[in-house]
């Protein structure tokens, strides 16, 4: 039994073993990666690996295999390290050792002049948990895994979770967990008595992560969780900033890694190499490992989405199987959203389209498939937008609500900026992973003066919406980072920001107490229902989509026809929008291709929306 | 031998280099005349700084020492070296001789075996430890290079004023003796063409080869010019090593090699005085002694050699020798970066006179030696982090943007293309329809607007830069400015975004958000240094690029006014906070403007539609209207295009991306290497075209062309020749320029009342017919007033009604107001409120 988890508990032994076998032929490195990949593939082995996201760091065994679901927030400079080195003991027996997946050399004096020394290169990424990840996504993805921590006997105790969910989720993993804790207790009971003592689960495990004075550089304010320095050994060019990854790697928390500031100052006088880094830079690049652990990557799985209810690589075959019952789910979701939007079914329709939108391609500078929705006519005084955001948060795996108050606009850092003193990318609220829902609450905006930062922030938001890109500020120049963020704007009148489509909210219900009404709507939904919606939204987004030649012809005909009557009514831009609406509408019904019917429906929908907007215009025009 | 703080850690490169023992060198006799140079001896073991050992070589040295490199002939006594003797050698901190003292490993490696390779019979062939460099041969080769190398085709600025058919570097040596700056910059590519093997050695073993070069050049110099007096011995600074061009490509194999990388300075440290030599004085007997810094440490003498007092030696700071050092952070240039990644940075050390040569923000090419050193976790622990610290010891800086002050960076940019790429581009250029191909590759997602795309294409290429400063005309603008106006939602912004993404030095601003300061430059006080710093704005930043200005009409008048200077003189004058300067802003402006009334009014002229001052409009070479054509066939194609956009497969999109890369390279190549000149035939065609243009108007009493239009034509024709990679502007270029210019005029300068093209709409803001009409109305009004007899004051409304009743053409209120204003200008009347008074 104990051997089963050796590769999790002591992966370095595996690495060293393979290295020793290799007789210095370089392909041992590949073998190591292969070995772990194989192990992780076997019957859900990856779920046994403890997750940094959930288990507090002090429960994790140093140098064990852990996983971390994260977003690449910054990329540091590549570093050269001793891939292979030789040490001299006092007995002057020299030994050749492998330095890969380690931060510090072990044993004896390193012989720097050895012929066996091999210098290798690796890259460091600064990774943070996926920004704005919804509570439900965290709970679902970590609950069944965190309980089966083989290296410790830590059992997370979550008081936050509602009981219904507990009942739902726990039936199966509970049994698993029991077996697992038992087995781990057996295997480690003797070796780690100390850890057994610390078993008492803390009531507030998440707060333990963030007791730092160190700025962990999370994109969103109020985020919690560990940040991590991930050392990448292979193909680091394949990773991009803001990529979502699930990293499997060896945890390294040697306290010697952190540099104590005053000690440095004393020595820096004599050591000319040490002036290369400022104190700020030191703090960022060598933070205490108890706060920012190092993770030596063995294998990383890029995540297309972070919805834990779907398999991480959403294959079309899986999707089509799930989407069988799609029509009914869609109808239910539509009813639910209609209730939330106070009986406005058109707005609910557009909200669904918005939620499944996705930049699927770019044509030179033009992002295709984005669908920014401006929900105008939101009540100003009541906390309606707040509730609406909560509803969306319940549906999407990651989201963020940005209150566009003057204070926020003038003070918040939205665009990431390069800090050259600390040599890092200081994050901003617009550094978000793909398909994050950004909820811009314009009802919070009041009259007043925008200062330079405010103007810049508005421009950045405008660029984000129009081109789906954020120009990161590198002081001497700007760098463009494409993004894929679903932006929803709620406003009273038409938003000052551009949008792809504006729907004026027209409530048919007028509940006397809005709050009570909304919470009643929420409670009416069974939790399992939510999971269905979540799968639906993520699944519909990932579907393939085509337009047949026949339909293309029909659409062209239609366009010409529409323009014949009144060229003003239908511009090229309108056609753009109509094509996106048609696409999203088809996808939302689970159709892979545009049908004539779908096109007509899209047109009707648009006509309905436009007529409403125009009515609104004439209404408000008459007011003064 | 190891000390705690700074171990003499050897390079971590994979090739292991054996080292000799410095202890062997200890009993070296010191010649009193060679104060500093001789002092170094005990420190520098063989491979470093051979010139420092110079006097030693002539004395008796242990024959087994690796210092005995060189063929016997190089050590012949009595060669005339008085010049060198008299000139002090300066330590080359850039070669890192101090810190890189090698290690001894007597046990594992018997020195005598591996250090000197005795070679086949002919004689002793000694090479420097761990390398294949033979000092004698190397020196000889380099001297031969200096004496013989000519670069007849060199276009570098440094060589301006030199006779390119004479040996280049000998002239430079002469220059050194005149100027007295003992630095010889050597282009590595010259060495490569001259002797590939020498070049390889230089790249692989710079630490050994460069001192050898120093030695060679000093011998040569003082042989030729024995009487020259220099501050210190000449130092050779190689540059443009072809090894690496991109920071991202650096890898462990480059350690200890000579590399050249480009980047941008992001931070410079303060000057760090690095002690080279400590001066100690005995407190008891005032005996002085000097101690060299050895690998970052000073061995404080415990006993005074003179009076034998222990612990009596005190360090005297101001008599110790320091050298300057500066840490510079270099970031890779934005152009080198793959999309979606953050830029890398590298630490660079500048030494001695290279300190403070660069400022943050400078784009530079540096040549230097790449170093790596292990890091200690803790001074008291033997464990080390398994990570190395890397830096570059800089040998040569070359600013790339400084040259932009004088002209285009031809040298730097041209090398980016491989031979195959150039061949491919040339093949493309040879195609007869290259112009159409390129223009259709431009922003393929935007439908049609062929002429606009062609105009923008020509703008991307630009005309030929001409300098008329000698004749007092100043620079002749080579950049083409384009204004797009038209209905909102006709993808103007998209076109601008595309162009901005295409060109390397593009800037994108919106008229709404930018202030005059943001466009030009402003003076800022650096909070740290309290120094005034000039911060440049979008226009200056896009020097040699394109400045895209969206919502041009929303720009405040104040902001727009700075464009006047930029768009014709291509400079920006700044007088602020005591800084008065003129910055280059040779930028093409691509602007987009919306009509004032949200929809383009075809009944009005361009000026009336966009309400921009005509003084500014006349500075645009081409003004295009982007209007909705409202035609069925067009609609159909548009629909097809848009739908295709949404269902095209990944591969097709991939193909297009390739096109964009080709287009980028094509433009970059043409801009740097094609400089077309007008041919005789083309000049004639241009003259004819201009005369024709003037003729059109003169028939109707209008001026339809101004010299500015001729200049535009020339620029457009040149740009078209560039598209063809042709060094001559021919008549087909002029034809296309004419066509395009006419096309743009037809769109923007057509008088809506007469239907004729009238350039005065753009140059004076009013068509000639409109002006004539205005005069007529004014005259009619005057007559009307005169006919009323002696009435000093009249009611405004009354007068207006009278005039309307009298005139057969409809007279609008605007026209009436204008007429009143015209008469007021003549001092005939004044208008106060609702009454009109005669004067």
Q: What angle do CA A386, A391, A397 make, to 5 degrees?
A: 115
CB contact under 8 A, B636 and A420: no
CB contact under 8 A, A560 and B635: yes
Closest listed residue to residue B805, CA positions, set B817, B816, B794? B816
The domain boundary, picked from B371, B399, B427, lies at B399
Distance from CA of B387 to the nearest CA of A (A): 4
Is B98's pLDDT higher than 60?
A: no
Closest listed residue to residue A285, CA positions, set B446, B387, B524? B387
Question: Which residues of chain A neighbour B628 with C-beta distances below 8 Å?
Answer: 567, 571
Domain assignment present for residue B331? The answer is: yes
The separation between CA B130 and the C-alpha centre of its own chain, rounded to angstroms, equals 39
Residue A181 pLDDT: 40
- In terms of domains, do B297 and B393 share one? yes
Domain assignment present for residue B207? The answer is: yes
Is B40's pLDDT higher than 60?
A: no
The tens digit of pLDDT for each residue in B813-831 reads 777 777 777 777 777 777 7
A563 pLDDT tier (thresholds 50, 70, 90): confident
Q: Which two tokens stand for residue A185?
A: 């207790």
Residue B456 pLDDT: 85
CB contact under 8 A, A479 and B337: yes
Is B194's pLDDT higher than 80?
A: yes
- In terms of domains, do B344 and B233 share one? no
- State which H helix or E strand residue B744 sits in: helix B731-748
Q: Which two tokens stand for residue B223?
A: 């042989």
Write the residue in B386, B445, B636 that is nearest to A560 by C-beta. B636
Domain assignment present for residue B803? The answer is: yes
A95 exposed, middle or buried (CB, 10 Å; 0-12, 13-18, 19+)?
middle
User: CA-CA distance, A600 to A596, in Å (whole number)?
Assistant: 6
> CATH number for the domain including B182?
3.30.1640.10
ipTM associated with this complex: 0.74
Is B812's pLDDT higher than 80?
A: no
- In terms of domains, do B279 and B215 share one? no
Residue A270 pLDDT: 39
User: How many A-B residue pairs are in contact by the CB < 8 A criterion?
Assistant: 222
pLDDT > 70 fraction of chain A, expressed in percent and rounded: 78
> CATH number for the domain including B775?
1.10.10.10
CB contact under 8 A, A273 and B16: no
- In terms of domains, do B233 and B264 share one? no
Residue B758 pLDDT: 62
User: CA-CA distance, A428 to B813, in Å (whole number)?
Assistant: 55
The tens digit of pLDDT for each residue in A165-198 reads 444 343 444 444 443 444 433 334 333 333 333 3
B199, B142 Cβ separation under 8 angstroms: no
A213 pLDDT tier (thresholds 50, 70, 90): low
User: CA-CA distance, A135 to B428, in Å (whole number)?
Assistant: 56
Closest listed residue to residue B359, CA positions, set B399, B325, B408? B399
Q: Beta strands B546-550 and B507-510: pairing type?
A: parallel
Residue B22 pLDDT: 36
Domain assignment present for residue B323? The answer is: yes
Residue A211 pLDDT: 37
- In terms of domains, do B264 and B361 share one? yes
Write the residue in A239, A275, A368 that is nearest to B272 by C-beta. A275
Domain assignment present for residue B139? The answer is: yes
A438 pLDDT tier (thresholds 50, 70, 90): very high
Is B21's pLDDT higher than 60?
A: no
- In terms of domains, do B270 and B352 share one? yes
Determine which of B351-365, B641-655, B681-695 has the lowest per-residue pLDDT on average.
B641-655
For chain B, how many structural domains are there in total?
A: 3
CB contact under 8 A, B628 and A567: yes
Residue tagged 């940075």 (tokens) = B345
Question: Which residues of chain A neighbour B642 with C-beta distances below 8 Å?
Answer: 572, 575-576, 579
CB contact under 8 A, B387 and A81: yes
Is B295's pLDDT higher than 70?
A: no
Domain assignment present for residue B102? The answer is: no
Residue A182 pLDDT: 41
Residue B486 pLDDT: 77
Domain that holds residue B200: 126-239
Any bridge partners for residue A126, and if so which? A74, A229
B529 pLDDT tier (thresholds 50, 70, 90): low
A376, A492 Cβ separation under 8 angstroms: yes
Residue B20 pLDDT: 38
The tens digit of pLDDT for each residue in B691-714 reads 877 776 555 555 556 777 788 888
B796 exposed, middle or buried (CB, 10 Å; 0-12, 13-18, 19+)?
middle
The tens digit of pLDDT for each residue in B484-495 reads 887 776 777 788
The domain boundary, picked from B399, B433, B463, lies at B399
Mean pLDDT of chain B: 70
Report the largest interatomic distance among the alpha carbons of chain A, rounded to a whole angstrom: 96
- In terms of domains, do B298 and B170 share one? no
- Half-sphere exposure for B295 (CA within 13 Å, toward CB): 17
CB contact under 8 A, A120 and B7: no
Domain assignment present for residue B148? The answer is: yes
Residue B80 pLDDT: 39
Distance from CA of A113 to the nearest CA of B (A): 6
Across B74-94, average pLDDT: 52
- In terms of domains, do B388 and B281 share one? yes
Identify the closest residue of chain B to A582 by CA–CA distance.
Answer: B646
> CATH number for the domain including B350?
2.40.50.140
Q: Which of A90, A94, A238, A364 to mutate to test the interface with B (most CBs of B within 10 A)?
A: A364
Write the residue in B14, B443, B635 that is nearest to A118 by C-beta. B14
Q: Which two tokens stand for residue B498?
A: 């595309």
Neighbours of B461 (CB within 10 A): 24
Determine which of A275-284, A358-367, A558-567, B582-591 has the lowest per-residue pLDDT on average.
A275-284
Domain assignment present for residue B224? The answer is: yes
Determine which of A65-79, A554-568, B48-62, B221-235 has the lowest per-residue pLDDT on average.
B48-62
Q: How far apart are the first and last CA of chain B?
A: 106
- In terms of domains, do B789 and B829 share one? yes
Across A215-241, average pLDDT: 85
Domains of chain A: 11-148+218-302 (no CATH), 316-527 (3.40.50.300), 544-623 (no CATH)
Closest listed residue to residue A105, CA positions, set B378, B147, B766? B378
Is A49's pLDDT higher than 80?
A: yes
Q: How far apart are the first and last CA of chain A?
A: 80
- In terms of domains, do B226 and B308 share one? no
CB contact under 8 A, A79 and B339: no
The tens digit of pLDDT for each residue in A372-428 reads 999 888 877 668 888 889 889 888 999 999 888 888 888 888 899 888 888 888 888
Residue B831 pLDDT: 75
Closest listed residue to residue B673, CA positions, set B414, B407, B457, B403? B414
Across A477-500, average pLDDT: 86
Distance from CA of A290 to the nearest CA of B (A): 17
Across A333-339, average pLDDT: 89
- In terms of domains, do B384 and B281 share one? yes
Three-class HEC string of B135-165: HHHHHHHHHHHHHHCCCCCCCCHHHCCCCCC
CB contact under 8 A, A563 and B632: yes
Question: Which residues of chain B neighbour A241 with C-beta distances below 8 Å?
Answer: 340-342
- In terms of domains, do B380 and B299 share one? yes
B317 exposed, middle or buried (CB, 10 Å; 0-12, 13-18, 19+)?
exposed
CB contact under 8 A, B639 and A567: no
The domain boundary, picked from B365, B381, B399, lies at B399
A487 pLDDT tier (thresholds 50, 70, 90): very high
Residue A4 pLDDT: 55
């Amino acid at each position: 039994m104990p051997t089963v988890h050796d590769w999790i508990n002591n992966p370095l032994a595996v690495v060293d073993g393979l290295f020793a076998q290799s007789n210095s032929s370089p392909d041992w490195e590949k073998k190591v990666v292969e070995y772990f990949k194989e192990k992780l593939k076997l019957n859900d082995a990856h779920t046994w690996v403890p997750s940094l996201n959930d288990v507090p760091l002090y429960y994790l065994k140093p140098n064990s295999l852990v996983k971390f679901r994260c977003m690449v927030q910054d990329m540091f400079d590549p570093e050269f390290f001793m891939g292979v080195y030789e040490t001299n003991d006092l007995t002057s027996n020299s030994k050749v050792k492998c330095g890969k997946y380690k931060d510090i050399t072990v044993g004896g004096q390193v012989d720097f002049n050895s012929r066996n020394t091999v210098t290798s290169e690796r890259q460091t990424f600064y990774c943070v948990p996926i920004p704005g990840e919804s509570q439900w996504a965290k709970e679902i993805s970590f609950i069944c895994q965190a309980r089966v921590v083989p290296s410790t006997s830590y059992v997370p105790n979550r008081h936050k979770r509602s009981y219904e969910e507990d009942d739902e989720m726990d039936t199966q993993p509970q049994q698993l967990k029991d077996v697992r804790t038992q087995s781990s207790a057996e295997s480690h009971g003797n070796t780690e008595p100390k850890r057994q003592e610390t078993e008492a689960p803390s009531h507030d495990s998440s707060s333990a992560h963030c007791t730092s004075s160190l700025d962990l550089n999370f994109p969103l304010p109020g985020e919690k969780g560990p940040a991590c320095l991930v050392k990448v050994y292979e193909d680091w060019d394949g990773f991009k900033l803001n990529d979502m990854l699930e990293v499997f790697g060896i945890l390294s928390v040697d306290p010697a890694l952190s540099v104590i500031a005053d000690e440095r100052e004393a020595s820096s006088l004599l050591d000319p190499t040490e002036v290369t880094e400022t104190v700020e830079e030191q703090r960022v690049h060598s933070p205490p490992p108890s706060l920012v652990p190092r993770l030596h990557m063995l294998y990383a799985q890029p995540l297309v989405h972070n919805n834990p209810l779907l398999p991480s690589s959403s294959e079309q075959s899986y999707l089509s199987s799930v989407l069988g019952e799609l029509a009914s789910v869609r109808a239910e979701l539509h009813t639910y959203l209609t209730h939330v939007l106070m009986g406005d079914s058109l707005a609910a329709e557009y909200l669904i389209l918005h939620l499944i939108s996705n930049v699927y391609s770019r044509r030179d500078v033009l992002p295709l498939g984005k669908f920014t929705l401006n929900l105008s006519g939101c009540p100003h005084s009541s906390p309606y937008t707040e509730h609406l955001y909560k509803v969306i948060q319940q549906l999407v795996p990651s989201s963020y609500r940005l209150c566009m108050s003057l204070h926020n606009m003038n003070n918040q850092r939205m665009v990431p900026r390069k800090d050259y003193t600390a040599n890092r990318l200081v994050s901003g609220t617009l550094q978000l992973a793909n398909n994050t829902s950004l909820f811009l609450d314009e009802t919070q905006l009041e009259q007043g003066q925008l200062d330079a930062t405010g103007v810049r922030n508005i421009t950045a938001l405008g660029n984000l919406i129009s081109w789906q890109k954020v120009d990161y500020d590198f002081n001497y120049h700007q760098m463009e980072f494409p993004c894929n963020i679903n932006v929803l704007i709620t406003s009273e009148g038409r938003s000052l920001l551009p949008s792809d489509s504006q729907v004026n909210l027209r409530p048919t219900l007028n509940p006397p107490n809005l709050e009570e009404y909304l919470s009643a709507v929420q409670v009416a939904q069974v939790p399992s229902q939510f999971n269905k919606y979540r799968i639906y939204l993520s699944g519909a987004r990932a579907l393939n989509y085509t337009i047949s030649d026949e339909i293309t012809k029909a659409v062209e005909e239609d366009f010409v026809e529409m323009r014949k009557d009144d060229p003003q009514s239908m511009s090229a831009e309108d056609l753009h929008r109509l094509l996106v609406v048609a696409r999203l509408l088809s996808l939302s019904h689970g159709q892979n291709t545009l049908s004539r019917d779908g096109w007509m429906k899209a047109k009707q929908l648009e006509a309905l929306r436009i007529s409403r907007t125009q009515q609104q215009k004439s209404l408000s025009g008459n007011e003064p | 031998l190891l000390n705690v703080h700074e171990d003499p850690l050897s390079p971590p490169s994979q090739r292991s280099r054996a080292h000799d023992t410095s202890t062997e060198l200890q009993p070296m006799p010191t010649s009193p005349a060679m104060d500093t140079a001789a002092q170094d001896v005990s420190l520098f073991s063989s491979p470093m700084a051979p010139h420092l050992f110079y006097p030693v070589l002539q004395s008796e040295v242990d024959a087994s020492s690796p210092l005995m490199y060189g063929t016997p002939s190089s050590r012949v006594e009595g060669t005339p070296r008085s010049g060198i003797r008299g000139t002090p050698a300066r330590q080359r901190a850039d070669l890192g001789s101090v810190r890189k003292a090698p290690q001894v490993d007597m046990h594992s490696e018997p020195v005598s075996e591996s250090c000197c390779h005795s070679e086949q019979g002919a004689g002793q062939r000694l090479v420097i430890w761990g390398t294949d460099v033979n000092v004698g041969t190397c020196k000889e080769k380099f001297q031969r290079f200096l004496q013989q190398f000519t670069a007849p085709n060199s276009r570098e600025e440094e060589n301006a004023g030199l006779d390119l058919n004479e040996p280049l570097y000998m002239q430079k040596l002469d220059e050194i003796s005149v100027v007295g700056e003992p630095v010889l910059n050597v282009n590595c590519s010259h060495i490569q063409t001259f002797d590939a093997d020498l070049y390889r050695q230089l790249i692989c073993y710079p630490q050994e080869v460069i001192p050898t070069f120093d030695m060679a050049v000093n011998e040569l110099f003082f042989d030729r010019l024995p009487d020259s007096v220099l501050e210190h011995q000449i130092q050779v600074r190689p540059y443009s090593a072809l090894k690496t061009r991109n920071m991202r490509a650096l890898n462990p194999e480059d350690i200890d090699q000579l590399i050249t990388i480009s980047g941008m300075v992001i931070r410079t440290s303060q000057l760090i005085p690095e002690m080279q030599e400590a001066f100690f004085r005995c407190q008891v007997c005032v005996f002085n002694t000097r101690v060299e810094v050895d690998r970052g440490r000073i061995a404080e003498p415990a006993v005074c050699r003179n009076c034998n007092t222990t612990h009596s030696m005190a360090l005297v700071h101001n008599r110790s020798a320091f050298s300057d050092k500066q840490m510079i952070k270099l970031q890779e240039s934005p152009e080198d970066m793959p999309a979606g990644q953050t830029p890398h940075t590298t630490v660079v050390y500048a030494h001695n006179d290279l300190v403070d040569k660069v400022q943050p923000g400078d784009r530079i090419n540096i040549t230097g030696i790449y170093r790596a050193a292990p890091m200690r976790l803790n001074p008291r622990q033997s464990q080390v982090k398994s990570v190395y610290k890397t830096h570059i010891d800089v040998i040569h800086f070359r600013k790339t943007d400084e040259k932009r002050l004088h002209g285009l960076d031809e040298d730097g940019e041209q090398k980016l293309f491989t031979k195959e790429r150039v061949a491919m581009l040339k093949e493309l250029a040879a195609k007869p329809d290259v112009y159409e191909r390129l223009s259709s590759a431009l922003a393929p997602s935007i439908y049609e607007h062929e002429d606009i795309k062609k105009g923008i294409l020509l703008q991307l290429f630009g005309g030929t830069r001409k300098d008329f400063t000698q004749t007092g005309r100043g620079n002749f603008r080579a950049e083409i400015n384009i204004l797009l106006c038209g209905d909102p939602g006709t993808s103007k912004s998209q076109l601008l975004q595309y162009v901005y993404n295409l060109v390397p030095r593009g800037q994108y601003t919106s008229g709404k958000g930018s202030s005059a300061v943001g466009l030009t430059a402003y003076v800022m006080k650096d909070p740290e240094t309290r120094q005034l710093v000039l911060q440049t704005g979008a226009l200056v930043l896009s020097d040699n690029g394109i400045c895209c200005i969206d919502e041009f009409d929303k720009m405040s008048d104040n902001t727009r006014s700075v464009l006047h200077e930029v768009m014709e003189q291509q400079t920006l004058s700044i007088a602020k906070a005591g800084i008065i300067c003129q910055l280059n802003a040779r930028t093409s402006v691509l602007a987009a403007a919306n009509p004032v009334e949200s929809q383009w009014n075809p009944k009005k002229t361009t000026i009336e539609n966009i309400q921009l001052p005509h003084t500014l409009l006349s500075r645009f070479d081409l003004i295009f209207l982007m209007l909705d054509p409202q035609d069925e066939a067009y609609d159909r194609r548009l629909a097809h295009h848009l739908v295709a956009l949404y269902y095209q497969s990944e591969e097709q999109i991939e193909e297009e991306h390739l096109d964009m890369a080709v287009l980028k390279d094509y433009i970059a190549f043409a801009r740097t290497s094609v400089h077309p000149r007008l041919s005789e035939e083309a000049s004639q065609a241009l003259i004819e075209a201009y005369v024709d243009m003037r003729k059109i108007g003169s028939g109707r009493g209008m001026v339809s062309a101004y010299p500015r239009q001729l200049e535009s034509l020339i620029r457009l024709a040149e740009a078209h020749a560039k598209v063809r990679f042709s060094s001559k502007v021919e008549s087909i270029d002029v034809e296309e320029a004419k066509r395009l210019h006419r096309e743009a005029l037809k769109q923007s300068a057509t008088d809506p009342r007469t239907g004729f093209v009238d350039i005065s709409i753009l140059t004076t803001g009013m068509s000639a017919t409109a002006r004539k009409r205005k005069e007529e109305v004014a005259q009619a009004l005057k007559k009307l007033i005169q006919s009323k007899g002696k009435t000093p004051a009249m009611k405004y409304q009354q007068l207006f009604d009278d005039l309307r009743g009298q005139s057969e053409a409809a007279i609008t209120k605007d026209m009436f107001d204008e007429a009143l204003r015209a008469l007021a200008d003549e001092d005939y009347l004044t208008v106060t409120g609702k009454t009109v008074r005669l004067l």
